[in-house]
């Protein structure tokens, strides 16, 4: 039997990082409306000031604020209306003391005016005169040029994940498309004579393919693009041929299944052959996930992952090895985790990083994390879990009521 020299998660990640980081990062331009969840591949600076003209934030009259000094509900001042500016139009008026111009919300403030009086606090006296009952200060209800964002100032950093709000920011800067990191292309290969596909009859000894669907969706969730899925029976030549093809097509090949020791060695040998580096990691100190294999093909810039057959472990290791290393390369900030109190004592696994699925229970303004236990736990635990905690390999575990951070699934 082959003796595994087990890597820590960090060692395994660093080996992958060292190879991935040598490659130029692939980027592409995407239309802003399609950019959701892509990662920004350029620093964005404001190409112009926002707002780029003095803007009103109320409906009313642009005035010289000095005209409103000392006035109030019972002591109005009277102002001559020079005219009205329409939305989207340049305001070419210039007012003097005692004059005003009607400006709608979002409209441009005319020259000579330094504040807005709200419509509610005015009364129209005649076609071209108002009584104004509001004392306004310099700049009141006016947004100055660049007050929101100064021209050339930094707005969004390279590595930002684009959510609706960032898309809104980019839209405000007039960007119709944006430079993002290309989604890494993934091939998913499920091995095993016991695996059958939906629609096929379930006979004793067989199980339905879980990992193809779990990994497919995990890849989509994290912004990777699934290029192809294969289900192959345990035939060395066929597996070799598929691997040889896949390594040309994609950035990451994920092989899963082959859960017996013999099959794992077999997968390791094949991945080693297909790579240029040989097997980098064979065995990783993560629970679950020990039988994980990594290798790299430098000529084709392709990461080769041999993932565990256990679906929870396969999905987790895809996240920890592929997603986390790409995020590090792209400089993506750590996502927000959910702080929760541990519902009970939870022991660490000596010498291994433990990834424990948890249920989250809300109690008014806080959460409790309850570990999901179970011998096999594969399917039923998946349906219950809302997240997972990572318990460090050198930790003695987590005590009841201790604060933990939960990664959401």
Residues 216-235 that bind a second copy (CB under 8 A): 216-218, 220-221, 229, 234
> Which of the ranges 200-208, 243-251, 281-289, 297-305 carries the binding residues for a second copy, by CB under 8 A?
200-208
Instruction: Quickly tell me which residue has 């020791």 as its tokens.
Output: 261
**Contacts of residue 400, Cβ cutoff 8 Å, sequence gap at least 6:** 342, 343, 344, 345
Helix (H, G, I), strand (E, B) or coil at 114: coil
Between residues 75 and 375, which has the closer beta carbon with respect to a second copy?
375
Q: For strand 397-398 and strand 302-307, is the pairing parallel, antiparallel, or unpaired? A: unpaired
- For the window 284-323, what string marks contact with a second copy as x by the rule CB under 8 A? -------------------------x-xx--x--------
Residue list 345-364, contact with a second copy (CB under 8 A): 360, 362
* Long-range contact set of residues 139-142: C-beta below 8 Å, sequence gap at least 24: 139/65, 139/114, 139/115, 140/65, 140/115, 140/116, 141/56, 141/57, 141/58, 141/60, 141/115, 141/116, 142/54, 142/55, 142/56, 142/57, 142/109, 142/113, 142/114, 142/115, 142/116
Minimum distance from CB of 373 to a second copy (Å)? 13
247 sits in which H/E element:
helix 236-249
**Position 367 contacts a second copy (CB under 8 A):** yes
Task: Give CA angle at 133 (132, 134), nearest 5°.
Answer: 100
**Identified binder of a second copy from the candidate list 121, 387, 390, 391, rule CB under 8 A:** 387
Minimum distance from CB of 266 to a second copy (Å)? 12
Between residues 133 and 367, which has the closer beta carbon with respect to a second copy?
367
Q: Return d(Cα 311, Cα 320) in angstroms, integer.
A: 14
Nearest to 283 by CA among 256, 308, 262: 308
> Which of the ranges 3-11, 20-28, 79-87, 267-275 carries the binding residues for a second copy, by CB under 8 A?
79-87
* Total residues interacting with a second copy, rule: CB under 8 A: 117
**Position 74 contacts a second copy (CB under 8 A):** no
Burial class of 253 by CB neighbour count within 10 A (0 to 12, 13 to 18, 19+) = buried
Minimum distance from CB of 394 to a second copy (Å)? 17
Residue list 123-142, contact with a second copy (CB under 8 A): none
- For the window 83-102, what string marks contact with a second copy as x by the rule CB under 8 A? --xxxxxxx-----------
**Identified binder of a second copy from the candidate list 7, 166, 251, 324, rule CB under 8 A:** 166
Between residues 13 and 211, which has the closer beta carbon with respect to a second copy?
211
**Position 156 contacts a second copy (CB under 8 A):** yes
- For the window 33-62, what string marks contact with a second copy as x by the rule CB under 8 A? x-xx-----------x-xxxx-x-x-x---
């Amino acid at each position: 039997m082959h003796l595994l020299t087990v890597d820590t998660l960090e060692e395994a990640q660093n080996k992958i990082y060292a190879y991935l980081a040598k490659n130029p990062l692939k980027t592409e331009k995407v239309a802003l409306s399609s950019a959701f969840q892509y990662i920004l591949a350029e620093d964005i600076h404001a190409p112009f000031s926002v707002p780029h003209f003095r803007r009103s934030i109320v409906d009313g009259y642009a005035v010289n604020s000095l005209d409103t000094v000392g006035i109030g509900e019972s002591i109005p001042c009277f102002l001559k209306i020079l005219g009205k500016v329409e939305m989207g139009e340049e305001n070419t008026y210039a007012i003097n003391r005692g004059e005003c111009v009607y400006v709608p919300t979002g409209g441009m403030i005319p020259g000579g005016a330094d504040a807005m009086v709200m419509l509610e606090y005015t009364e129209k006296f005649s076609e071209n005169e108002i009584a104004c009952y509001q004392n306004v200060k310099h700049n009141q209800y006016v947004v100055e040029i660049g007050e929101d964002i100064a021209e050339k100032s930094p707005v969004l950093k390279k590595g930002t994940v684009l959510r609706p709000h960032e898309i809104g920011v980019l839209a405000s800067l007039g960007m119709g498309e944006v430079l993002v990191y290309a989604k890494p292309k993934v091939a998913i290969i499920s091995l095993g004579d016991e695996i059958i596909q939906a629609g096929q009859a379930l006979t004793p000894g067989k199980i339905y393919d879980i990992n193809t669907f779990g990994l497919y969706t995990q890849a989509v969730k994290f912004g990777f693009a699934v290029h192809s899925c294969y289900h192959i029976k345990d035939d060395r030549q066929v597996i070799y041929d598929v691997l040889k093809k896949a390594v040309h097509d994609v950035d990451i090949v994920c092989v899963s299944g082959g859960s017996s020791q013999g099959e794992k060695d077999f997968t390791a040998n094949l991945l080693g052959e297909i790579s240029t580096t040989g097997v980098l990691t064979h065995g990783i100190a993560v629970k679950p996930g020990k039988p994980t294999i990594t290798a790299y093909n430098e000529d084709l810039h392709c990461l080769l992952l041999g993932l565990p057959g256990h679906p929870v472990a396969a999905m987790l290791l895809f996240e920890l090895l592929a997603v986390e290393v790409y995020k590090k390369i792209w400089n993506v900030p750590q996502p927000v985790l959910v702080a929760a109190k541990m519902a009970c004592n939870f022991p660490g696994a000596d010498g291994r990083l433990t990834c424990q699925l948890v249920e989250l229970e809300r109690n008014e303004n806080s959460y409790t994390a309850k570990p999901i236990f179970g011998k096999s736990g594969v399917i039923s635990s998946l349906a219950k879990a809302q997240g997972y905690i990572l318990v460090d390999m050198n930790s003695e575990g987590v005590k009841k009521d201790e604060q933990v951070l939960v990664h959401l699934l």
